[in-house]
Amino acid sequence: MKALLFFCSIFLLTSSLWSQSDSAAFEADNSPIIGVGINTIGFYGDLNDADYPTPFGGNFGFDVFLIQPITDFLNVHFHLTAGKIREEERSVQRNLNFTTDVFLGGIMAEYNFNHFMPEYRRVTPFVTAGVEFVRFNPKTDLQGFGGEPYNYWSDGTIRNLPENSPNADDAVIVQRDYSYETDMRDGRFNNSNTYQESSLSIPIGIGFDMHLADQINFRFYSTLHFTFTDYMDGISRSTKDEYLGDRSANGRNDLFLTSGVALSYDFRKIPSDKEYNDREKEIEEDIDYLALGYSEDQDQDGVIDLIDNCPTTPLDVKVDSLGCAIDSDGDGIPDYKDDEVNTEFPDYANSKGVELTDQMIYESFLRYKDSTRELTEVIERNFTASNKKTKTYRYRIQVGEYQVGEVPKDMSELLGLGDLAKIDQDGKTLYTAGKYNSLNEARKREAQLKAEGFTKALILERNSRGKYVPHMTGGVDLVTGEKDSGPIVVNPEDLAAHENEVVFRVQLGAFKSKPTTDKYNAIPQLIVTRAGEFYRYMSGAFDNFEDAAAHKVKMVTEGYKGAFIVAYKGGKRVSLQEVGVESISSDPIIGK
């Protein structure tokens, strides 16, 4: 009953201290820690007091404990321990033995050195000190199985008769039964049989916690218990001489050492990444960075660099509270770069912030799937050396006019023209066929192209500024003196023959990025097309496969190992088999 009242008083006192220190405690989860462990008990009393036995002997016990954090460096430690102590002393001077059950419970302050240790660590040392209550009940083994007393002889044997007995010669050796049948207090080992088999004790200990997981710890500890009693082993200064033999009691209070290991579970919540980040954000918000001088604003948008998510916004661009340019329609393109600021469906906007129409999506699909190069764009090229003079021609035949960058829908028909060329001038792209210095030759080609389906074909004439402009019908050429003969009629036989005309080209390769021009200097009749992200290089225009094959061989031997032949018939891309070259289509150096 007294022990129960003692622990209730300690608990109430601790609760009171906890409630008063709540405001001073660190802002953390102060849930308790519970644990269980096993230990060994080393006893230091009147028995074997000269031998100082090892603390890791054969006396075992177990612990349960509860730790209540008070601050980040101080805990209150409640513990209960139960175990058994047994000691044997066998010597010429005396022969004593005892065993006792030990029950103790107490409260300790636990200090963990958190002031000096890094925040994130695996091992945490600690020291403890406190007060506890100990109960014991020492017993000794004085009699054998039949109740006969043990007689210790000087030769080290135990016999049924005393060594000085008249019948000593008849004595027989007996063995101890190690049944501790005699209560040492009730058996009057001491002058009093009313002393308390309990005591207060002062525990002082050290140890460390090793963090195995977020809330699981391994604990090693060693605690020395200083009791206020000399009766734990039943031997004291008042013990009768008949039991002490030739040695007296040491006159000191008994003490014992518990050393053990334990596993504990920490009920304190481990914060999630989100909770940790939110807490860090709260701490940052509480800091007045302006007062500390952190006010630099590199892009001068009114948001200091410390909290500016876009610290390089261009000048005079409206920004939000995070320093990023305003995006009114939420399409991911800031207003100052957006070609369509108020896009109705921002999820369907292109890289310029313009909402994609059905036609734009369809054309993108065609570009992605294009294998006939119908949507390719012919890119202006000039791969000849800059120090070479190129021959200029007075007349060309225009077969198409488009905005710069616009992809002709009839590109296959254009590529079917063996003498296709491209001119960019005044924001327009002109596709032309043929190069002539004779007006009559140009007239003939113009009529032929119109008959072949290029109804918008017209003659372009190079003026004094180097630009090609539509030729004026009639009159005489002031340079050559040649008279304009007017429109020319094409014979039906010539038109029918052209419908079956085949143009062979040699494709040198396809590249995701445009190669340097040095590699392609002086390649005859080079056409560069672009389809999606790829640039395709084609060289030459031949009316028979043998010449095209010879040109391909030349290109391969010059290093264009991926070169292959493509064919166009009547303005359409066709396979080589369709134009009668199946017999050599499998030859890796000739056809594809």
In a domain, 308, yes or no: no
Q: Give all strands of the β-sheet with 420-425 in edge-to-edge order.
A: 420-425, 428-436, 395-403, 458-462, 468-470
Residues 236 and 165 in one domain: no
Residues 36 and 71 in one domain: yes
> For residue range 192-225, what is the model confidence (pLDDT) as tens digits?
888 999 999 999 999 999 999 888 999 999 999 9
Q: Bigger pLDDT: 527 or 274? A: 527
Residues 407 and 533 in one domain: no
In a domain, 201, yes or no: yes
Which tokens hold the place of 65? 């404990």
Please give the C-alpha separations between residue 95 and each of 51, 141, 569, in angstroms, as whole numbers: 15, 11, 123
pTM of the model: 0.46
Residues 121 and 227 in one domain: yes
- 34, 44 contact by CB (below 8 A): no
Residues 455 and 529 in one domain: no
In a domain, 303, yes or no: no
Residue in the structure block whose two tokens are 């166009």: 568
> For residue range 98-121, what is the model confidence (pLDDT) as tens digits?
999 999 999 999 999 988 888 778
Residues 195 and 96 in one domain: yes
DSSP character at residue 405: T
Burial class (CB in 10 A: 0-12, 13-18, 19+), 45: buried
Dist CA 337 CA 247 (whole Å): 102
Q: Bigger pLDDT: 551 or 243? A: 551
Which tokens hold the place of 409? 């829908």
SS (H, E, C) 256-309: EEEEEEEEEEECCCCCCHHHHHHHHHHHHHHCCCCCCCCCCCCCCCCCCHHHCC
In a domain, 296, yes or no: no
Which tokens hold the place of 248? 């007296």
Q: Bigger pLDDT: 419 or 66? A: 66
Q: Which of 466, 499, 532 is the last residue of a domain?
A: 499
Count of domains for the chain: 4
Domain residue limits at 170: 142-177
Give the amino acid at 476.
V
User: What CATH number should be reported for the domain holding residue 80?
Assistant: 2.40.160.20
Dist CA 532 CA 526 (whole Å): 20
Residues 118 and 131 in one domain: yes
Q: Would you say residue 537 has pLDDT above 90?
A: no
Q: Which residues contact 415 (CB under 8 A, 6 or more apart)?
A: 373, 503, 505, 527, 529, 538, 568, 573
In a domain, 483, yes or no: yes
Give the amino acid at 243.
Y
In a domain, 161, yes or no: yes
